[in-house]
Amino acid sequence: MIMSKTRSVTTKLGVASVFAATISGSALAASSPVLKQDDFVGISFWIISMALIAATVFFFLERDRVSAKWKTSLTVSGLVTLVAAVHYFYMRDVWVATGSTPTVFRYIDWLITVPLLMIEFYLILSAITKVPVGVFWRLMIGTLVMLIGGYLGEAGYMAVWPAFIIGMAGWAYILYEIFAGQAGKINAQSAPPAVQSAFNTMRWIVTIGWAIYPVGYFFGYLTGMSPESSANALNIIYNGADVLNKIAFGLIIWTVAVSETENAKAK
């Protein structure tokens, strides 16, 4: 039995190592520009891509530690960090090669990962009670409004201030749903203490952690700084926000999943 478990763990670690090496190797093979040691923005792209790969391996390995109802949530957490890691390799290449902000790659990443993060609110509640599908769609609508508004401003399809206001309106809609809307009410009325704690922490990340993105947008487009300074500020702020919000979200899910699983086993 012990030998069987040891072989299982060894196999999982081996698969995880190959998985991480494949991602990083593919990205490196596609990377022709050389990252300079004094390019702090480029270095931030690199560090964050490594952190996201590590988080991906961790979340996928930890799926076997939790009960079945939490596996989907951890899988989604791993997918968020995996998708973000791949995009960060390519965003780094765009930055190093051109010195310009990789706006298109960043919004492609967000268009995939931010809805997945919103799905986590739906999944964590669905693991403990029946949740109306309207909660899911309202979170999706708020997410799309927020992202589309931001992209229109950053890509130059709309004046930056109106686009900023549209993006903020989408964010405000999400905050309403998770605090005062149906999602917030279901959490308060039906969730056990561990899930309530996780849900509350997640929504404060959406409130405080996501507030970093408007700060980045402001410094990137609304301060009147030189184009180089604006690009540096925007990318460093966005990069820091991404690594905090995406990995932290997954760690919160993992914490409550492990806690709920261990409590169920103890009963």
Q: Can you tell me the mean pLDDT for 176-181?
A: 93
- Residues 91, 110, 253, CA angle at the centre, nearest 5°? 115
CA distance linking residue 28 with residue 68, whole number of Å: 36
pTM to 2 decimals?
0.85
Q: How many beta carbons lie within 10 A of that of residue 80, not counting itself?
A: 28
What does the pLDDT read at residue 117?
92
Element (H, E) at 11: helix 2-29
Query: pLDDT higher for 71 or 38?
Result: 71
Above 90 in pLDDT, residue 267?
no
Nearest to 216 by CA among 246, 194, 236, 190: 236
Which residues of 166-256 form beta strands (DSSP E)?
none
User: What is the percent of the chain where pLDDT is above 90?
Assistant: 60
Q: Can you tell me the mean pLDDT for 148-158?
A: 95
